[in-house]
Amino acid sequence: MSGTVPEIPFLDLAAQAAEEGEALQAALARGVMDGGWVGGPLVAELEAALAAALGTPHVVAVSSGTDALMLGMVAAGIAPGDEVITPPNSFVASTAAIRHIGAVPVFADVADDINIDPDAVARAIGPRTRAIMPVHLGGRVCDMDRIGEIAQAHGLLVIEDAAQAFGSKFQDRAAGTFGTVGCFSTHPAKNLNGVGDGGFVATADAAIADRIRRLRSHGTTPSGVVEFGFVSRLDNVQAAVLLMRLQRLPSVEARRRRNADLYLRLLQDSPVRAVPERQHEYNTWSTFRVEAPDRDRLAAHLRQAGIQTAMHYPVPIHLQPAAAGLGYKAGDFPETERQAAHTLSLPVHQSLGAEAVARVAEAIGSFYRQG
Ligand SMILES: *Cc1c(COP(=O)(O)O)cnc(C)c1O
């Protein structure tokens, strides 16, 4: 940390709150004054609004994206010892959720579009494979046609980690509605964000939705405790804020998409490479990643220029100390490892104006001209 406040921050949650102003105040008051506080009618109202937005029959709100993955997997029937195929270039929570329910993460490398490679998924299937967990990284939806075909051919469940992709679409269908369950996070850093932790599961299966409903609150049902559960309820303040923000999301998405388009145009002739939106996708750009030669020096150059960047993710999960027991080593996933060494995420958030995007692009240009 240089100690200086970046002029162009990677995220600007204070700017978001300032823009929302009275709407945010009203939502906070609604969440508190409603008197339910945990799991009241506001949560049910949010679940209905999210289900309508996604075009899915059921949404169950929980207290984080990680819990959405864990409870979603348990409710879908994934048991200890089952193998779940997932990419090593995700946020660590995808793999952690698999471990925490006693299942076994099996990694499959990614393709040059940064998402899990369906061919690598097919190669990773073995006798104990129970599910595929694709991750829609940075808002880019995985090839759900291919993944769905592979899952069907092998009788596998699909657990979508859509934590970074609320609002994104693949062939006009919402990310998170392809799998047995679609798991979302409303952490403050996501596009649809609360003022604290939160998450939810989307599913077309009523029995799975019911099971998550009881698992999130001690396993209690009207006919007693049929299985021991957890504590993973969404509170009403988050529900009220998310209801307000869901209405404003189209504007957030439009500005993020404009910023991403601008980057794609302005960086066209620079040495950095970004994967543009492809014809069959609608990307909400929760992060805007580029592959940059000499990445670490570029990041330092931008920091000097008052521009904050991030990396998603510089150390793949299979090379993290926590993964030592999983039996992987450097070199196992060459494409993931190559991308990890070059990936840089540029600020793309909705509070960023076109001039700021142009300044970032100009600073990148000046770095490579300097050589
Ligand atoms: C944010 C995130 C999660 C976890 O969400 P939390 O709400 O922080 O638990 C899981 N997977 C991915 C890909 C994420 O980006």
* CATH code for the domain of 180: 3.40.640.10
Which pLDDT score, from 0 to 100, does residue 238 have? Answer: 97
Which pLDDT score, from 0 to 100, does residue 184 have? Answer: 99
Q: Are 62 and 242 in contact (CB under 8 A)?
A: no
Residue of 120, 116, 66 lying closest to 89 (CA atoms): 116
Q: Which of 70, 73, 91 for mutating ligand 1's site (highest number of atoms within 8 Å of CB)?
A: 91
In-domain check, residue 3: no
Q: Is 66 in the pocket of ligand 1 (CB under 6 A)?
A: yes
Which pLDDT score, from 0 to 100, does residue 239 have? Answer: 97
In-domain check, residue 124: yes
Residue ranges making up the domain that contains 229: 13-243
Q: Tell me the C-alpha distance between 273 and 257, whole Å.
A: 17
What pLDDT digit, counting tens, does each position of 224-252 carry? 999 999 999 999 999 999 999 999 999 99
Residue of 91, 70, 189, 99 lying closest to 136 (CA atoms): 91
Tell me which of 243, 266, 286 is where a domain ends. Answer: 243
Q: Answer yes or no: do 171 and 293 share one domain.
A: no
Q: Tell me the C-alpha distance between 232 and 222, whole Å.
A: 19
In-domain check, residue 6: no
Q: Answer yes or no: do 74 and 142 share one domain.
A: yes
Q: Answer yes or no: do 283 and 173 share one domain.
A: no
In-domain check, residue 217: yes
Q: Answer yes or no: do 209 and 290 share one domain.
A: no
In-domain check, residue 80: yes
- Residue whose CA is at the smallest distance from ligand 1 atom 6: 65
Atom of ligand 1 nearest to the CA of 199: 7
Atom of ligand 1 nearest to the CA of 189: 1
Residue in the structure block whose two tokens are 């995007």: 357
In-domain check, residue 5: no
What's the whole-model pTM score? 0.97
Give yes or no for residue 5 having a pLDDT over 80: no
Q: Answer yes or no: do 129 and 203 share one domain.
A: yes
Q: Answer yes or no: do 212 and 324 share one domain.
A: no
Number of helical H runs and strand E runs in the chain: 12, 14
In-domain check, residue 2: no
Cα of 66 vs centre of ligand 1, distance in Å, is 6
Tell me which of 177, 212, 243 is where a domain ends. Answer: 243
Q: Is 90 in the pocket of ligand 1 (CB under 6 A)?
A: yes
Q: Which of 161, 200, 311 for mutating ligand 1's site (highest number of atoms within 8 Å of CB)?
A: 161
Give yes or no for residue 105 having a pLDDT over 90: yes
Number of domains in the chain: 2
Give yes or no for residue 343 having a pLDDT over 50: yes
Atom of ligand 1 nearest to the CA of 68: 9
Q: Is 339 in the pocket of ligand 1 (CB under 6 A)?
A: no
* CATH number reported for the structural domain that contains residue 361 in this entry: 3.90.1150.10
Q: Answer yes or no: do 31 and 169 share one domain.
A: yes
Q: Answer yes or no: do 68 and 172 share one domain.
A: yes
Which pLDDT score, from 0 to 100, does residue 36 have? Answer: 81
Residue-averaged pLDDT of the chain:
96
Q: Answer yes or no: do 257 and 229 share one domain.
A: no
Tell me which of 208, 225, 243 is where a domain ends. Answer: 243
Which pLDDT score, from 0 to 100, does residue 37 have? Answer: 83
Q: Answer yes or no: do 258 and 309 share one domain.
A: yes
Q: Answer yes or no: do 320 and 336 share one domain.
A: yes
In-domain check, residue 4: no
Paired tokens of 44? 């049910």
Q: Is 213 in the pocket of ligand 1 (CB under 6 A)?
A: no
Q: Answer yes or no: do 119 and 196 share one domain.
A: yes
Q: Is 63 in the pocket of ligand 1 (CB under 6 A)?
A: no
Give yes or no for residue 83 having a pLDDT over 80: yes
What pLDDT digit, counting tens, does each position of 9-58 carry? 999 999 999 999 999 999 999 999 988 888 789 999 999 999 999 999 99
